[in-house]
């Protein structure tokens, strides 16, 4: 019996028993063909794979990668805001008041010092070593899997 004949026989049986999508997914998974089916059924320009040491760690569709990146961006934003709130930036050093004889007051603000303080506050909470970044990436993947 050829592969085509076997396939036709199996398909005929599937129609006779009324196999549903969930059962078909179970069969594909048990046959060890899940990844292959995902690759074949998803347009290849819509797949992004993250590799580590030539091993595929995770495979994203375009939309999943967008959601993943959006979550990373939100976490960065929240960490940055928290860093700025907790930095205890002393604004006194950045503001200079000058009073003139005509009772006018001039206020000068050192904007570059403020930006430097904010950058330092963010640098203090954002770690960029490989292990910390990978841990955060895995944490986001776990978080997205829970949704």
Predicted pLDDT at 44: 56
| Alpha helix positions (H), 42-128 | 62-86, 111-125
Distance CA 123, CA 121 (A): 6
The stretches in the chain having pLDDT less than 50 are none
Contact call for residues 106 and 98 (beta carbons, < 8 A):
yes
Please check whether residue 18 lies inside any domain of the structure.
no
Give the pairing of strands 55-61 and 105-109: unpaired
pLDDT in tens, 89-117: 777 778 888 888 888 998 888 888 888 88
Please check whether residue 66 lies inside any domain of the structure.
yes
For 25, the token pair is 């997914």
Predicted pLDDT at 27: 84
pTM for the whole thing? Answer: 0.43
Please check whether residue 36 lies inside any domain of the structure.
no
Please check whether residue 5 lies inside any domain of the structure.
no
> How many domains does the chain divide into?
1
Please check whether residue 46 lies inside any domain of the structure.
no
Domain carrying residue 68: 62-146
């Amino acid at each position: 019996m050829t592969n085509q004949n076997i396939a036709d026989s199996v398909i005929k049986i599937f129609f006779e028993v009324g196999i549903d999508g969930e059962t078909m997914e179970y069969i594909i998974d048990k046959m060890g063909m899940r990844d292959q089916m995902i690759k074949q059924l998803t347009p290849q320009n819509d797949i992004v794979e993250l590799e580590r040491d030539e091993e595929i760690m995770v495979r994203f569709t375009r939309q999943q990668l967008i959601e993943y990146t959006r979550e990373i961006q939100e976490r960065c934003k929240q960490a940055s805001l928290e860093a700025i709130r907790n930095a205890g930036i002393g604004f006194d050093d950045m503001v200079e008041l000058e009073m003139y004889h005509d009772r006018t007051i001039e206020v000068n603000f050192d904007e570059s010092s403020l930006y430097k303080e904010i950058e330092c506050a963010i640098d203090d909470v954002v770690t960029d070593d490989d292990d910390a970044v990978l841990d955060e990436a895995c944490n986001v993947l776990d978080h997205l899997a829970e949704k």
